[in-house]
Amino acid sequence: MKFTDYQTDGFYDELFEKAGVPHEAAKPLIAKIESLPPGDLHRRQQAAEAAFLQMGVTFTVYGSDEGTEKIFPFDIVPRVIEPGDWLQIERGLKQRIEALNLFINDVYHDQNIIKDGIIPGELLNSADSFRPQCVGLTPQRDIWIHVTGTDLVRDQAGKLMVLEDNLRCPSGVSYVLQNREVLKRTFPNVFQSMHVQPVYDYPNRLLAALQYLAPRGVAEPTVVVLTPGMYNSAYFEHAYLAQQMGVELVEGSDLVIQDGFVKMRTTKGFQRVDVIYRRIDDDFIDPKVFREDSCLGVPGLMDVYRRGNVALANAPGTGIADDKAVYAYVPQIIKYYLNQDMILPNVETYLCSEPNQLDFVLKNLDKLVVKAVNLSGGYGMLIGPHSTKKEQTEFAAQIRECPRNFIAQPTLGLSRAPTIVGDDFEGRHVDLRPYILYGEDIFVMPGGLTRVALRKGSLVVNSSQGGGSKDTWVVAPSDGRAEQSQGASSQSQTQSQTQKTNSKSQTQGAKDA
């Protein structure tokens, strides 16, 4: 397969400057693909899909007529990010997370940003994601946002922008790690020649960030991953990360509150838990404080958390900062707390709660992307140019009924990347979700989940809406570390940590990957 007939069609392309001319960093990859014997790339694609099937790399689609468990679609032609672009992404994300962490802390304490007139108080009072139960809370180390997945896009000119923040229970990082393992076997030699930055150490860095949160005086903290259970859409990831970190995967029924501490049921009795990486939404973590009908959480957990006897990652209440209406104020938030200009700009956003902006949105529904502020996964969204008059009328009624629940953005010509379609390459729109850890410092994993809209012309990249993924290669400077050279140490480190942790306890009923 050759790229001879591949066209960029006026969009910014992640591998090609223009038809027939690859970006400098992508040239070795393009040369490698074009040098393969006839049929070889298809065989490699089939081998990658077989590997995912064997590894059980799945996600769940609720309400699907085709069954719930899906193999995550994967395209073996990777996305390549040049060093200069990655430097901007890394700096911009660190700035954003630092500011948003300060914002959340302020919101649940003095609310100076409201008193100083930077954002309206009504914005918080009307937010479904604001948790009054968290007012006055001070999380361990003053860190609220421990794991973040921020969605980035490029516009038609190639400008990098933040599309939205995911600060509650962001998912997808397990696919990043599995994609890389498969691609290293698919293109084993090109990694080193291109100086692709490694992602293998994410589980160790995640564990270190979680251990950093342990209550004062705990030298060897016990960390667990709290999952809603096997029917959750991201259960594979919960099990995978627990296994990779060498910690226990637990459900709410595996934990109890005793003597002011969280305890885990084990074959040797109860064991204290110091840090919980929770993959359960706020509303379900403690039926005594949030939803009374929740069977997923741990009754009394929030009381132990308030006392400082357990750490929760991410902290309850962080959802206020990924409300899509609050997102519109992030430039002001960064300026207010850090006195800096935003490094990674937002996409232009219209707040339907503002009368003038509401009027503009209603008159331009056929041109805009309208989003419900508290939904994700591609749900509750209208893509104007691809919508019908009936859909626009229905959305207009919803917006008028509750303007605060909606924002609108211009329809962007998202960047594209070559994707295998039949016996040829075709451009498909992509975004990028890098993962950020906030522990002793802020770390941005070099790469992230490149999501690709597999349907021709579609702008919706979510897996629940028919999207797939690609591996993301961040090219280091010529003296940078190559992924290929680090693989052996990755495996030995993970095995060592797993053995060390598993020797401490055996959890009765814990869910293995």
Q: Is 321 exposed, middle or buried (0-12, 13-18, 19+ CB in 10 A)?
A: buried
Other CB atoms closer than 10 Å to residue 56's CB: what's the count? 13
Whether the predicted pLDDT of 300 surpasses 80: yes
The confidence score (pLDDT) of residue 465 equals 65
Q: What is the pLDDT of residue 510?
A: 35
Q: What is the pLDDT of residue 392?
A: 96
Measured in degrees and rounded to the nearest 5, phi and psi for residue 497 equal: -65, -40
Residue-averaged pLDDT of the chain: 89
Burial string for 208-225 (b: 16+ CB within 10 Å, else e) reads ebbbbbbbeeeeebbbbb
The neighbouring-strand residues paired with 320 are none
With tokens 């421990």, the residue in question is 146
- The yes-or-no verdict on residue 363 having pLDDT over 80 is yes
In Å, what is the CA distance from 249 to each residue of 228, 245, 358, 372, 494? 10, 10, 46, 32, 16
**CA gap 223, 210 in Å, rounded:** 7
Residue recorded with tokens 């990360």? 241
Q: Could you give the CA distance from residue 76 to residue 473 in angstroms, rounded to a whole number?
A: 12
Q: According to the model, what pLDDT value does residue 238 have?
A: 96
Please write the tens of the pLDDT for every residue from 333-358. 999 999 999 999 999 999 999 999 99
The pLDDT tens digits for 204-227 are 999 999 999 999 999 999 999 999
Cα 434-440-442 angle, rounded to 5 deg: 25
**Amino acid letter at 512?**
D
Collapse the DSSP code of 409 into the 3-class scheme (helix H, G, I; strand E, B; otherwise coil) and give the result: strand
Tokens of 227: 């999952």
Backbone angles phi, psi at 424, to 5 degrees: -145, 175
Read off the tokens for 236.
């594979």
What is the edge-to-edge ordering of all strands in the sheet holding 269-273? 255-258, 261-266, 269-273
Q: What's the pLDDT at 491?
A: 43
C-beta separation of 306 from 108 below 8 A: no
Compute the distance between CA of residue 246 and CA of residue 492 in angstroms, rounded to an integer: 12
pLDDT at position 260 is 96
Task: Tell me what pLDDT residue 58 has.
Answer: 63
> What confidence score (pLDDT) does residue 57 get?
75
pLDDT band at 477 (very low <50, low <70, confident <90, very high): confident
* pLDDT at res. 511: 34
Domains of the chain (ranges, CATH numbers)? 216-309 (3.40.50.11290), 348-411 (3.30.1490.270)
Q: pLDDT by residue (tens digit) across 45-98? A: 999 988 888 887 766 555 555 545 567 789 999 999 999 999 999 999 999 999
User: What is residue 53's predicted lDDT score, i.e. its pLDDT?
Assistant: 83
- Per cent of the chain over pLDDT 90 is 78
d(C-alpha 194, C-alpha 189), whole Å: 9
pLDDT at 442 over 60: yes
Residue 496: is its pLDDT beyond 90?
Answer: no
Predicted confidence (pLDDT) per residue in 166-206, tens digit: 999 999 999 999 999 999 888 888 888 899 999 999 999 99
pLDDT given at position 494: 41
CA angle 100, 103, 107 (to 5 degrees): 140
pLDDT of residue 445 exceeding 80: yes
Confidence of residue 410 (pLDDT cuts 50, 70, 90): very high
Q: Is the dihedral of CA 148, 376, 292, 239 positive or negative?
A: negative
Helix, strand counts (H, E) of the chain: 15, 24
| Separation between Cα atoms, residue 261 and residue 192, nearest integer Å | 48
- The tens digit of pLDDT for each residue in 255-289 reads 999 999 999 999 999 999 999 999 999 999 999 99
Q: Is the dihedral of CA 89, 95, 98, 99 positive or negative?
A: negative
The 3-state secondary structure of 454-465 reads CCCCCCCCCHHH
Predicted confidence at residue 323, as pLDDT, reads 92
Spatial distance between the Cα atoms of 412 and 82, rounded to a whole number of angstroms:
22
> Is the four-CA dihedral 45, 49, 50, 51 of positive or negative sign?
positive
pLDDT, one tens digit per residue, over 121-167 is: 999 989 999 999 999 999 999 999 999 999 999 999 999 999 999 99
Helix (H, G, I), strand (E, B) or coil at 152: strand
Burial class (CB in 10 A: 0-12, 13-18, 19+), 449: buried
